[in-house]
Structure 1
Amino acid sequence: MARTADSSGRLARTGRRVLIASAPILLGIAAQGRAAETGAPVDLELVLAVDISYSMDADEQQVQREGYVSAIVSKPVLDAISLGPLGRIAVSYVEWAGADEQRTVIPWTVIDGPSSARAFADRLAAAPLRRAYRTSISGALIHSARLFEGNGFASARQVIDVSGDGPNNQGETVEQVRDEVLERGVVINGLPLMLKRPSFSMMDVGDLDVYYRDCVIGGPGAFMVPVRSVDQFPAAVRTKLVLEIAGLGPEAPAIPPGGTDALPTAAERGPSKADCTSGEQLWRDRFGN
């Protein structure tokens, strides 16, 4: 079962075992086996897929970028990497918006300590910020899933970490693509950005966390960390990276309750399910196409 972590909490224990989650690799997007025998071994292959749609203003995008830059060199993240069996992970950073707007900002890079983490962070900090139209989570997942093919690495875990502040409103339906990615054995985690604003866009959905839970994330140990205000973002990114790198399973919460910001689990919410085409419907209602 997928779980929700509170972005204001801290990791309760860093010395936990890594959760190994493997599955057959066959994706409808592109059928290709994982070259486990020939790839360079790492503990984790991680794609950071970051929303750059116009629904996020320039200040929010700057905070988002700085959050990733600071998180990748933070002590909790470096400690989590060092505790892995091999002590190294492979990371790629992707920016996405509409169905035809995906860009790999940083290709696959090994992070195995402070020096390589700092090099990754410096490269990311130097990349220009950009924005683009529409929101295609499905397009981001398709692009991210293809990055695992022939990337030169081998691991027991492949994870897509997708962040965004709205529902899918362009491209393939997110639920269908999500299921195809999961069939490959790739885990999808989420960072729904539920940022507080003076007024809400006509393209917003009320419970983006529920939408991400039911329509976006999935796979063994999948989880999400909702962000409700800009100032929560740095801690949320650190928390999420530590959980992903450590491979903590959902059976034992790694983050203690964080007060009023803590979200109930899926079981506590009950069986209600989000409408996974709500974004497309909002777009049609507003623009008629």
Structure 2
Amino acid sequence: MLRRSILAAALAAPAILRAGPAKALEPVDVELVLAVDVSRSVDAEEQEMQFRGYASAFRDPRLAEAMMRGPVGSVAVTLFTWSDWNIQEHLVPWMLLDSPAACERFAHFLDTAPRRTHLYTSISGAIDFAAGLFGQGYEGTRRVVDISGDGINNSGRDIALARQEALDQGIVLNGLAVLDRTPPPAGLGQMQPLDEYYQERVIGGPGAFLMVAEGFESFEQAVRRKIIREVASVPAPGPRVERAFA
């Protein structure tokens, strides 16, 4: 028995040596996951406003400056869209942003990303998917998820469970609630104001905050201000809720 164990170990050793040590994660100031709502309450024009808003934010010199200001001098960012509990589309892979040129490359991904609309609104599914994206090539001093949307959780598991599991992993959940002036589809009406819902049930973690966009017309301004605040290496104390107006 002992002889067989020694032989098995000897045969396995070359494979272990060939595999080599795991590649070390590259340090960054922040790992930031951007989660964008593409449920049916977001029409084609509003979805385009979202993508243009994100692209414009990454082309803003102030954002690049904020990203390079930390001790490491870089952040890692990725973006996916979400809708139903089982629908998340990872559109922009993790990218190291440490210069205006790198930010421009990220914005170009957004310019050319497909625009697709789905049905329901699963914030819990978005949180679960986002939590699984960390630790893929980068290690940030902070791990932040930025969830933008215009509706409450109506698909998938209990949002409280998803939220708590993310917080237990040390993830900060920030929100960008869009107060859409278009009434929700029949049967999907919401009883609680969306900004209150995000405050109470979505955001959480040290320094978590909510940006409220008063209509999709103010989305670009809202997302720019929000990401600049998120990538700061040592976020200055700020209001728990900020509002952007067109």
Partner of 1:64: 50
2:165 equivalent to 1:180: yes
Counterparts in 2 of 1:78 and 1:250: CA distance versus 1, 3 Å: closer
Output the aligned Cα RMSD.
2.1
How far off is 1:251 after superposition?
A: 3.9
After TM superposition, the score normalised by the length of structure 2 is 0.84
Q: 1:99, 1:237 → 2: CA distance?
A: 24
Partner of 2:176: 191
Q: 2:65 aligns with which of 74, 79, 90?
A: 79
Gaps of 5+ in 2: 1-22
Q: 1:123 aligns with which of 109, 121, 132?
A: 109
Q: Is the 8 A contact 2:67 2:98 kept in 1?
A: yes
Q: Is the 8 A contact 2:69 2:233 kept in 1?
A: no
CA distances 1:202-260 after superposition (whole Å, capped 9, x unpaired):
424241011001101100000010111222111100000011001555744499x879x
Q: 1:43 aligns with which of 26, 29, 52?
A: 29
Q: 1:223, 1:234 → 2: CA distance?
A: 18
User: Runs ≥4 in structure 1, deviation > 6 angstroms?
Assistant: none
Partner of 1:244: 230
Q: 2:139 aligns with which of 154, 162, 168?
A: 154
Q: Is the 8 A contact 1:135 1:170 kept in 2?
A: yes
Partner of 1:102: 88
Query: More helix by proportion, 1 or 2?
Result: 2
Partner of 2:118: 132
Q: Is the 8 A contact 1:41 1:155 kept in 2?
A: yes
After TM superposition, the score normalised by the length of structure 1 is 0.72
2:148 equivalent to 1:163: yes
| 2:165 alignment partner AA | E
Q: 2:157, 2:170 → 1: CA distance?
A: 20
Q: 2:184, 2:36 → 1: CA distance?
A: 21
Which structure would you say has the larger Rg?
A: 2
Q: 2:48, 2:133 → 1: CA distance?
A: 25
Query: More strand by proportion, 1 or 2?
Result: 2
Gaps of 5+ in 1: 1-36, 262-289
| 1:190 alignment partner AA | G
**Relative contact order, CA 8 A, sep 6+: which one is greater?**
1
Identity between Structure 1 and Structure 2 (%): 39
Q: Is the 8 A contact 2:80 2:90 kept in 1?
A: yes
Query: Where do residues 213-232 of structure 1 align in structure 2 (5 Å cutoff)?
Result: 213-232=199-218
Counterparts in 2 of 1:191 and 1:147: CA distance versus 1, 3 Å: same
